[in-house]
Structure 1
Amino acid sequence: MNEPHLSDSIFGGGSDPSDPSAARPKGESAPSHDPVRLPEAPPASRKAAREREAAREREQTGSRRAARAERTRAPRTYDEVKPRRRKPWLPLLMAFVLVFGGGAVAYKTLGLHMPSLGGGSEGGGDFAGEGSGVAKIVVRRGDTGSDIGATLEQAGVVKSGRTFARAFAAEHDAAGLQPGTYTLRKQMSSASALSLMLDPKSHVGDGVTVPEGLWAQEVYARLSKGTGVPLADYAKVDPKQLGLPAAAGGQVEGYLFPSTYEFPDKATATDQLRTMVTEFKRRTASLNIPAGQEQRVMTIASVVQAESKLGEDGPKVARVIENRLRPNPATNGRLQMDSTVHYMLRKRGTVTTTDKQRQSTSPYNTYVHPGLPPAPVDSPGLEAIQAALQPTPGNWLYFVTVNLSTGETRFAATLPEHNKNVAVFQAWCKANPGKC
C-alpha cells in the first residue's frame, strides 16, 4: 500500500508536484481510476494521525539539527577553532577619528589655532609681536633654553616655554647668553623675546665684566670692586678647589674666562674663581682641545690675544708663533714677543720694550729663552683660542703693527722685509708721540 502523503517532507516542506492529489480541491473525491481509495478515517482517528505526524516531524527536525551540529564539529586547525576576540574599543576609536579628524580639517580650513589635547601652553603656541609693558626675569648660571623658556612663560613674557626653547636652540648666538636680570615686555613672540635678550641693553643688574687680555691680578681687582670681596681673599684661594685642567699645573692664569658675571650676594672669592674656570670649560668644550694640550694652546692664545686686534690677524699671529718655535737660524726658536716681557714686568702702557728689559733672565723673557713662556700671560677670549687651534697657513716669521690707531699689522717672511715694516711703525710713532 501507498503511505499517505505528508504535508511537509523531511526535505523542506511543500506538496509533491508529482502527486495528483496535490492539485485536487480540498474534499474532492479521487478519480475513479485510482487503484485503491483509502477510506476516510473517523475524526478520532484523524486527530491521532495528526499527533503522530507532528511527533514524527519533530523527531525528523531534531535529527536534521543534530546532523548539522555534527558536521560543524568536524576537526579543524587551531586557527580555525580559536574564538575571535571582539575589539570593543574599535568602534570608539573610529568615532574619535571621525570627530577629531573632522574638527582638525575644520580648524585648518578656517585658519584657526587648534589647541593640544592636554590643554594649556605645553603644546606650543606663541604670541604675536613685540609685546607691551615691562617684565623682569632672571637667567641663572647653567640655565638651558628650556629653563629660560619656563621662566619667561611663568612671567607672562612668552606664551609657551617650549616654543621659546625651540627658538633658542635654532639661534647660534643664544649659546652666549649671560646670566643675570633682563628687562623684557609682556606677551612677546618667542623670536622677539630672544632677540631682546641678546641685546646688551636689556641686560641689567650688578654684573662684573671681565674683558679679554687681563692678567689674573687685574681680574681679581675687578671682581673685588664689583662684589665687595676683599682683594686679599683672591690670592688665598686654593687652586685645587677650582677644577682647573691638570695641564694647568695649578696656575689660574689663562683660565679665568673673560665674560660678564653675576654672582650670588654671598659668593666667596673661591666661588667666583671656580665659576670662571667652569665657564672656561663650558665655552671651550666644543673646540675639542687635545687632552693634555690645554696649557700649550692657552699659552699661544694668550700671546695672540696680547699681540693682535684679532680678526683675520689672530690666526696669522698664531702661525708666526708656530713658525718661530720650529728650529731655524733666523730665530733660534725664540718668540721675541714684547707681550711676554710686559707680563714679566707687570707693566702696562707701552707696546715696546727697552734693551735693558729684554736682557732679563726671567723665563717669561722670550727674547732670551727659546720656546713658549712657562704659562699663559693673560686671559684669552674665545677668538684667540680658536686662532691658536687653527693658525692660517703661511711662512711668516715676523709681524709688526704699523698703526696703533687702526691696528694695521704687516707680516713678513724675511728680516729685510720686516725691517721695512718696522720703519713704517717708527714713522707712525714719531708722528704720534707718547703712544708707543
Structure 2
Amino acid sequence: MKVLLALLVLGTLAAGAAGWWAWRSLDQPGPAAAAVVVEIPAGASLSRIARRLEDAGVIEHALLFEWYGRASGQAGKVRAGEYRFPAHGTAREAMARLVSGEVVLHALTIVEGWNFRQLRAALAGHEAIALQLAEVPDAELMARLGKPGMHPEGWFLPETYRFPRGTTELELLRMAHAAMERALAETWAARADDLPLESPYEALVLASIIEKETGLADERREIAGVFARRLERGMRLQTDPTVIYGLGPEFDGDLRRADLRADTPYNTYTRHGLPPTPIAMPGRGALAAAVNPADGKALYFVATGRPDGSHYFSTTLEEHNRAVARYLATLRERRNSK
C-alpha cells in the first residue's frame, strides 16, 4: 500500500512538473533569429499548422503548441492567411497572432496618369494577387464589376491599396472604382460656379487630360483654366495627350504632324469639346483642378523644356508661337550638347 501511495505521489509530482514545464515553455523565446512569414492554408488542422510553424522556426515544440491550442479553446479560432511572426516570439504570442487574424497586407499603387491597360498589367504582375480574369475583355470585366457598358478608362482612383494575399483583381478593381466614385462625387459637389462642364463625368474627362499634361501640382489649376476658357469660347483643346491616347498601343513615342491631322474621336486638334472618355486615371489633385480652374487670360501653354517639367502660359497666339520657338530651340541645344 505504501509503495502504491508513493507511486501516486511521484506520478502527481511528475505530472505537475510536466505541466509547469509546458506552461513555462509557452513563454520562452522561439528559435527564429529573424522575422518569419508563414502562410496558413484555409481548413488546415491545428496539428498541421503547428508542424508548419515548427518547420519555419516560429515555435520549438509542435505538440506543445497543439496541446495549448486545444486546452485553451483557441484551436477553432485560428484564421487562415499569411502571418508575420517576429524574431524569437513565444508560442503564446504566435497563437494570439493566428487568432487575431492580423494577416500580412500587400500593396498595389495605382499611379496617377496610368491608363487602364497599364493598371491591368500591374494587377497581372503582382505576385500576391489571385488572377481570375486575366483573359477577360475590358467590357466583360466592367460588367462583372456591376458597370455594364461603362468605359473603364479613368474610373479607378490612383492610391495605394493594401490587401491580403489571395485577393482577386476584381476585388481590387472594385475597391479602386468605389474610391473614384466617392472622390468624384466629393469633387463635383465642391465645383466652382459657371464651370463649362455639364456633369461629373465631364470633370473626370478633363481631369484626366490635366493629369497627363503636367506633373506639377502648382500648374494643374492654371492648365485647367486654359482648358476652361477654351471650352467657353468654343476653341479646340488641341492637347497632345488626347491624340496619343487615340493612336493606341501602336504609338511609338514620336508624335508627328500627320498624327495631329489624323482624325480620331480623341483628336482634340480636329474635334471640338472634350474627348468621349477619360484618357488616364486622374488623381485627387487633377480632379480638384478640373472643377476649380484658376482665373486668368491664358489660352495657350507649352513646355519650357526645363528639367522641372514646367510650362509657359500665353494669352495670345503670337506670344504662344514665340514660346514654342523657345522650346524647340531648347530641345535643339540639348540634343547638340549631347
Give the alignment of 1:259-338 within 5 angstroms: 259-289=159-189, 293-327=199-233, 333-338=235-240
Partner residue, 1:432: 334
Counterpart check, 1:231 vs 2:134? yes
Where do 1:63-78 residues align within 5 Å? none
Residues 237 and 274, structure 2, Cα contact 8 Å, conserved in 1: yes
Q: What one-letter code is carried by the residue in structure 1 that aligns with 2:213?
A: E
Q: CA deviation at 1:318?
A: 0.6
Contact conserved, 1:207 with 1:262, CA < 8 A, in 2? yes
Instruction: Determine the C-alpha separation between the residues in 1 that align with 2:276 and 2:270.
Output: 13
Post-superposition Cα deviations, 1:78-98, rounded to whole Å, max 9, x if no partner, equal xxxxxxxxxxxxxxxxxxxxx
- Distance in 2 (CA, whole Å) between partners of 1:259 and 1:349 is 28
Residues 236 and 299 of structure 1: CA distance in aligned 2, closer, same or farther (over 3 Å)? closer
Q: Does 1:394 align with 2:300?
A: no
Pick the aligned partner of 1:418 from 320, 326, 336.
320
Q: Give the corresponding residue for 1:354.
A: 256
Q: Does the residue aligned with 2:322 lie in a helix, a strand or coil?
A: helix
Q: 1:266 to 1:403 in 2, by over 3 A?
A: same
Of structures 1 and 2, the larger Rg is shown by 1
Q: Does residue 219 in structure 1 map to residue 119 in structure 2?
A: yes
Q: Name the aligned partner's letter for residue 161 of structure 2.
A: Y
Q: Decide whether aligned partners of structure 1 residues 292 and 397 sit closer, same or farther in structure 2, where only a CA change above 3 A counts.
A: closer
Relative to 1, partners in 2 of residues 1:333 and 1:427: Cα closer, same or farther, differing over 3 Å?
A: same
SS in 2 for 1:281: helix
**Deviation of 1:361 (Å):** 1.8
Aligned-partner Cα distance in 1 for 2:105–2:263: 46
Q: Aligned in 2, Cα 1:303/1:183: closer, same or farther, shift over 3 Å? A: farther
Q: Does 1:372 align with 2:274?
A: yes
8 Å contact 1:315–1:390 — kept in the other structure?
A: yes
- Cα deviation, residue 287, structure 1: 2.4
What letter corresponds to residue 313 of structure 2 in structure 1?
F
Q: Is the 8 A contact 1:255 1:379 kept in 2?
A: yes
Within 2, Cα distance between the matches of 1:221 and 1:355? 30
Partner of 2:48: none
| Counterpart in the other structure of 1:85 | none
Relative distance call for 1:222 and 1:377 in structure 2 (3 A) is same
Superposition deviation, residue 269 in structure 1: 3.2
State the distance in 2 between where 1:257 and 1:336 align: 26
CA distance in 2, matches of 1:292, 1:326: 12
How much does 1:333 deviate? Answer: 2.3
Local SS of the residue matching 2:264? coil
TM-score (norm 1): 0.48
Which residue of the partner structure matches residue 242 of structure 2? 340
- Alpha-carbon distance in 1 for matches of 2:84, 2:334: 43
Asked whether the 8 Å contact 2:130–2:167 carries over to 1, the reply is: no
- Mapped partners of 1:305, 1:349: distance in 2: 21
One-letter amino acid of the counterpart of residue 418, structure 1: H
Instruction: Give the one of 251, 254, 269 matched to 2:154.
Output: 254
CA-to-aligned-CA distance 1:151-185 (integer Å, 9 cap, x gap): xxxxxxxxxxxxxxxxxxxxxxxxxxxxxx9999x
Q: Which amino acid aligns with 2:183?
A: R
Q: How far did residue 243 of structure 1 move?
A: 5.4
Query: Distance in 1 between the 2:268 and 2:84 partners?
Result: 45
1:364, CA displacement in angstroms?
A: 0.3
Gap change, CA 1:234 and 1:262, over 3 Å in 2:
farther
Per-residue deviation, residues 323-350 of structure 1 (Å, max 9, x unmatched): 11133xxxx5211110001111235674
Could you tell me which residue of structure 1 aligns to residue 12 of structure 2? none
How much identity, in percent, do the aligned residues show?
30
User: Does the Cα contact within 8 Å between 1:237 and 1:270 map onto a contact in 2?
Assistant: no
- Which 5+ residue runs of structure 1 have no aligned equivalent? 1-133, 137-180, 185-203
User: Residue 214 and residue 404 in structure 1: after superposition, are their counterparts in 2 closer, same or farther (change >3 A)?
Assistant: farther
Provide Cα deviations, 1:110-157, integer angstroms capped at 9, x if missing partner: xxxxxxxxxxxxxxxxxxxxxxxx9x9xxxxxxxxxxxxxxxxxxxxx
- Give 1:408 shift: 2.1
Secondary structure of the residue aligned to 1:262 is strand
Alpha carbons of structure 1 residues 359 and 280: separation in structure 2 relative to 1, 3 Å: same
What is the RMSD of the two structures over their aligned residues, measured on CA atoms? 3.2
C-alpha separation between the residues in 2 aligned to 1:411 and 1:429? 18
Is the 8 Å Cα contact of residues 155 and 180 (structure 2) preserved in structure 1? yes
Is 2:109 the counterpart of 1:209?
A: yes
Q: Name 1:111's counterpart in structure 2.
A: none
Contact 1:397 1:413 in 2 (8 A): yes
Distance 2:198 2:228 in 1: 18
**Aligned counterparts, 1:91-170, within 5 A:** none
Unaligned 5+ runs, structure 2: 1-34, 38-82, 87-103, 192-196
> Counterparts of 1:18-33 in structure 2 under 5 Å?
none
Alpha-carbon distance in structure 1 between the residues aligned to 2:238 and 2:84 = 46
Question: Kindly tell me: are residues 422 and 183 of structure 1, through their superposed partners in 2, closer, same or farther at Cα, counting changes over 3 Å?
Answer: farther
